[in-house]
Structure 1
């Protein structure tokens, strides 16, 4: 379980999040709210990509700040943008990410190949990333997040730049997971027949 207690974040004088408290159990939670409300910031905090200015985050009862490395071994994170290395193949990128997650070589290749196939990149797995379209890069970024059967998945707009059919396939993969899944999406209406929870983030009007 991921727990947030009075979590806040600010950049300079601007407060982005203030007093967020919530517990996330296994299952999908969709983070909602207007543009600029701090949804991406909240996901970055939950993925330990940032540290909060106030409050605490804990994973299974242990504060994230004390053992971020242990937490990240069970984390799958797909931000909106990834700075991909341009001159390696999609498969080699997946194998590199698997190595960072301490996945053995044999298992890594099996998982990487299966995920690339699942997300429609099997035929392009040996192609250089610099030849990939925006949608292909989005799917590659998603594929690496699922390596290692993570305990927690943090997905920022996972279906952006994807056509409706591919987006549906991505949702199928997401909702098959037994992990704690936190995600934002601009296609919430497409989730009408799926079971999930929501956490709404409100816009902060004041600058503190």
Structure 2
């Protein structure tokens, strides 16, 4: 279980999240709300990419910063916007990320092949990222997040820029992982995924409430 208690995050005078408390059990949690409401900020806090100004993040009953290493070891994170190394092939990038996660290289390579096969990227894994379209980059970011069967998966609009069939393939993998993991996801496909979710939360005006 992931738990946030009275989390606040400000940038200068702008308060993005204000005393947010929420629990995320095993299963799929969807975050919805208007653009700029703080959904991506909430995911960055969950992924420890940022620290809250106030409040507590706890993973498996232990609070950060003490539990930060355990949370990161369990984490798969796919941000909405990220700079990818264009000089690497997709496979080289994935194996680099696997090494950072402490995963066995051979096992990660097999996992990466299986994931990319399911999301229609396998034919391109030995091509340089510089040749990739926006949708291909999105799938690559998603694939690296899935390496190691993470127990905590934070996904920021993973199906954006994808056609309907490819988005459905990613959604299938997400629902499968949510059977064993805490999955927190922002998406424009909330209506389609809501039946598979354990909860849908709305982020708006600094607050997080049931949708």
**Same-fold call, TM cutoff 0.5:** yes
Q: Which residue of 2 aligns with 1:98?
A: 98
Distance 1:50 1:38 in 2: 13
> 1:128: how far off?
0.4
| 2:170 corresponds to 1:165 | no
> 1:196: how far off?
3.4
Q: Which runs of 5+ in 2 are unaligned?
A: none
> 1:70: how far off?
2.5
Greater Cα offset, 183-192 or 73-82: 183-192
SS of 1:66's equivalent?
Answer: coil
| 2:194 corresponds to 1:197 | no
SS of 1:43's equivalent?
Answer: helix
Q: Which residue of 1 aligns with 2:113?
A: 113
The 5 A counterparts of 1:44-193 are 44-177=44-177, 178-193=180-195
> 1:195: how far off?
3.7
Any idea what the Cα deviations from partners look like across 1:4-29, whole Å, max 9, x if unmatched?
00001000111110111111100000
SS of 2:142's equivalent?
Answer: helix
- Note if contact 2:28-2:196 (Cα within 8 Å) is conserved in structure 1: no
**TM-score, normalised via structure 2 length:** 0.93
Distance 1:204 1:102, change over 3 A: closer
Distance 1:192 1:30 in 2: 7
**Residues matched between the structures, number:** 205
Distance 1:62 1:92, change over 3 A: same
Distance 2:70 2:21 in 1: 23
- Note if contact 1:33-1:203 (Cα within 8 Å) is conserved in structure 2: no
Pairwise CA RMSD:
1.4
- Note if contact 1:28-1:197 (Cα within 8 Å) is conserved in structure 2: yes
Distance 1:101 1:23 in 2: 25
Q: Which residue of 1 aligns with 2:6?
A: 6
> 1:192: how far off?
4.9
> 1:193: how far off?
4.3
Distance 1:11 1:203 in 2: 14
Any idea what the Cα deviations from partners look like across 1:137-159, whole Å, max 9, x if unmatched?
00000000000010100000011
